[in-house]
Amino acid sequence: MSDWIAIDWGTSNLRVWLVSESGEVRDHRLSDKGMGQLEPAGFEPALNALIDDWLSEGEVTQAVACGMVGARKGWIEAPYAAVPCKPEQTDGVQAPVTDPRLSVTILPGLSQITPSANVMRGEETQIAGYLAANPRFDGVICMPGTHTKWVNVSAGKVDSFQTCMTGELFALLSKQSVLRHSLSGDGWSDDAFDAALSECLTRPASFGARLFELRAADLLQGQAAADAKARLSGMLIGLELASAKAYWLGQQVVLIGDARLSALYQKGLGAQGMAATLADATAMTLAGLGAAYKYQTGGTE
Amino acid sequence: MSDWIAIDWGTSNLRVWLVSESGEVRDHRLSDKGMGQLEPAGFEPALNALIDDWLSEGEVTQAVACGMVGARKGWIEAPYAAVPCKPEQTDGVQAPVTDPRLSVTILPGLSQITPSANVMRGEETQIAGYLAANPRFDGVICMPGTHTKWVNVSAGKVDSFQTCMTGELFALLSKQSVLRHSLSGDGWSDDAFDAALSECLTRPASFGARLFELRAADLLQGQAAADAKARLSGMLIGLELASAKAYWLGQQVVLIGDARLSALYQKGLGAQGMAATLADATAMTLAGLGAAYKYQTGGTE
């Protein structure tokens, strides 16, 4: 049986795994050649630099890729699959590979028109990975990150989803806004996080009024940066939980994402009486690429 | 009677007026030497470059300055005056001027500790200007801008205030976030603005969910940048009006700020049945500096 290559190619990073037909990871590598810094002609060399010695003359090794590599400004566009759909059973696009030893299928992201326009690219593969191990799961998957996704899953399909720009807002406000003067430095306050999350979840309008207070409390009262940072994070996640209430209230919620960030969401949901479970993001990506590989190569589930 | 000099020195600009004792503007000038780009030693030369020929040997011309020039990182710190207070009757600080022909008083901003930490610097002078012409005003002054201020005024005093970072959020999101790809270009849609404002005012939590849709609606449906920009503005002002409802609901509201931006706030408040009036920002600044000059030089109102 031949090995295949799993590729997770996001905006900032490229990760590859050499996987046996039985699913065993034989090797894995990482580079910083994310899609964000590459022109179309740069993708194949960036990939080859990592996997050249995994390829064999006279054989074609199959690879499956997910993530921003398939965006309009990526290697080649893999048009979105519309929900509802099974996230691992979508039509991939062949990348324009010149190396005769390699064939790369790029998986599409998912799109939604109603009730409102939305897209994801990369997260659908993590969902597929979770469903591969939990085929009867019926509930909500939340993927915290730069653009957090809230996803309704039922009968093996993604039914609908919502995006919150919570991570990007945190980065913009803490690094580029006037608040940056009051947020630099390490440290963290659980109490400040909890209080801010609770207030913005209960009264989301207060977000508008409370934001500048992070600066004023520093100027007037010398508020510690650790407190301010935890308050900002709590405010943003509180506003997000308020906006995603229809997703998590009374639902079984699984969190897939950075462990520290997911723990914050788990804490916030826990304060509302919701016990969310955590799943490892890298493991879900790899399992999802495996499920897609099976589907792309004609295997059955 | 001698002339005096009115100075409005903000983060980005320096504006000066030569004013007669009777209040007539004899001359006015502008430079881009805002406080944001100056070290302490750079303030006097920047000012002198504009007003040197207004000064006379053997005489000391009085000047009164408001704005970020008095911030901790400005020319010299003018410590905040605590509310409640009359905005024109605060203790100014003498700037360290070396030119014997000039004396500059820098006005303080205002600070608030309860119900929540807040500061303003520069806006208090516009409030003083409005009160100089409307001494019996009792109501709310809203000053739209980078950091919009909502101010309760009663019996000639500023009682309390709130800040919303609406202008800064609009700039960050439209120029530095992923949304920038979908917001570039001119144009405007009143309908998109109205609908977005109404939704975020009624359901502020929806802000969290709707933001990323500006990007998705472009990718999937080719939404025009003019629509997206108006929607973003409407969402942010709607969230702000929701957070400031205790200020404007059932109150007499005066808007002081950029004319186009103030008109948007007026429209939003109008949709809620509130008829806000507009006042010219530059005229208010000048009138406020005049009221402070009278107070600083011992005149009575």
pLDDT in tens, B121-131: 999 999 999 99
pLDDT at A19: 98
Q: Which residues of chain A have pLDDT under 50?
A: 300-301
Tell me whether A207 touches chain B (CB under 8 Å): yes
Segments in A244-280 forming alpha helices (H): 245-248, 259-270
Nearest to B116 among A80, A116, A213 (CB): A213
Cβ contact, residue pair B113, A208, below 8 Å: no
Q: Decide: B90 and B82 in contact? Cβ < 8 Å.
A: no
- For chain A, give the longest Cα–Cα distance: 71
Say how many CB pairs under 8 Å bridge A and B: 135
**Does residue B299 register a pLDDT over 70?**
no
Give residue A298's pLDDT: 78
Give the E-state strand segments of chain B in sequence order. Answer: 4-9, 14-19, 25-31, 61-66, 81-82, 93-94, 102-106, 110-112, 118-120, 139-143, 148-154, 157-164, 253-257, 277-280
CA A173 – CA B74 distance, rounded (Å): 23
Q: Which residues contact A1 (CB under 8 A, 6 or more apart)?
A: A20, A21, A22
Q: Which residue of B has its CA nearest to A219?
A: B119
**Other Cβ atoms closer than 10 A to B94:** 11
Q: Supply the pLDDT for residue B293.
A: 96
Tell me, what's the ipTM? 0.93
Tens digit of pLDDT for each residue in B46-91?
Answer: 999 999 999 999 999 999 999 999 999 999 999 999 999 999 999 9
The SS3 of residue A155 is coil
According to the model, what pLDDT value does residue B301 have? 42
- The span from the CA of A201 to the CA of A207, in Å, is 9
Query: What was the pLDDT predicted at A301?
Result: 43
Is the sign of the CA dihedral A69, A125, A112, A103 positive or negative?
positive
What pLDDT does residue B298 have?
A: 78
Q: Is the pLDDT of residue B1 over 70?
A: no
Return the structure tokens found at B289. 């500096």
Residue A80 and residue B239: Cβ atoms within 8 Å? Answer: no
pLDDT attached to residue B186: 86
Please answer whether residues A109 and A78 qualify as being in contact, where contact means their C-beta atoms are separated by less than 8 angstroms.
Answer: yes
Report CB contact under 8 Å: B211, A242. Answer: no
CA distance B106 to B122: 11
For B189-209, what is each residue's pLDDT tens digit? Answer: 999 999 999 999 999 999 999
Angstrom CA distances, B234 to A31, A142, A165, B125, stand at 41, 28, 17, 28
From B165, B207, B212, residue closest to A163, measured CB to CB: B212
